[in-house]
Amino acid sequence: MFLSALTILCLFCTWTRAASISSGTCVVPESKQSLVTGLEKQLVAYANLLYSPEPSVLIALNLAENQDISARMLFLQQLKDTAAKEMTSGKVALYVLALRSSCENPTDVTTPEKKVNLVQVLEEKTKEEIDYYYSHDAPKTTYYQLALDCLALCVENSPDVEMAAIILAKAALSNGFQSSGRFSVDTAAVASLALACVYDGMIATQQNKLVGTIQDALGHLTKQILGEQKSSGIIGNIYSTGLAMQALSVTSEFYLSGDWSCTKTLDKMLDEVDLGAFNTPAAASQILPSLVGKTYLDVKGFVCSPEDVPTIAVRYTISNDRVGTYFTFSTTVKVPKGSVLLAVLEAAQSAEPSKFSFQTEQTSWGPMVVSINGVQANNNEKTYWEFFSGKTPLDQGVGSYKPTDNEHILAIFNTY
Distance CA 405, CA 19 (A): 39
Residue 134, annotated as binding a ligand: no
186 is in an annotated binding site: yes
Confirm or deny that 394 is annotated as ligand binding. yes
In this structure, the dihedral spanned by the alpha carbons of residues 115, 119, 122 and 127, taken in order and rounded to 10 degrees, is: -120
Consecutive H or E run containing 282: helix 281-291
C-alpha to C-alpha distance for 174 and 54, rounded to whole angstroms: 32
Helices (H), 89-204: 89-101, 118-136, 143-155, 161-173, 185-204
Are residues 19 and 250 in contact, defined by beta-carbon separation less than 8 angstroms? yes
- Smallest Cα–Cα separation from 380: which of 348, 416, 406, 344? 416
- Per the CB < 8 A criterion, the answer to whether 303 and 78 are in contact is no
Which one-letter amino acid corresponds to residue 119? V
Q: Is 350 helix (H, G, I), strand (E, B) or coil?
A: helix
Contact 220, 173 (CB under 8 A): yes
Which whole-number Å values give the CA distances from 125 to 147, 153, 182, 218, in the listed order? 13, 11, 27, 25
Known binding residue 175? Answer is: no
**SS3 call for 188:** helix
Task: Sort 117 into a burial class: Cβ within 10 Å, 0-12 / 13-18 / 19+.
Answer: middle
| Cα end-to-end span (Å), the chain | 28
Taking a C-beta distance cutoff of 8 angstroms, is the pair 229, 260 a contact? yes
Q: Is 120 annotated as a binding residue?
A: no
Q: Any long-range contacts for 344-347 (C-beta under 8 Å, 24+ apart)?
A: 344/314, 344/316, 344/403, 344/409, 345/316, 345/369, 345/398, 346/2, 346/3, 346/4, 346/5, 346/8, 346/73, 347/5, 347/8
Q: Residues annotated in the binding site, as ranges? A: 141-145, 186, 237, 286, 394, 416
Q: Residues annotated in the binding site for cyanocob(III)alamin, as ranges? A: 141-145, 186, 237, 286, 394, 416
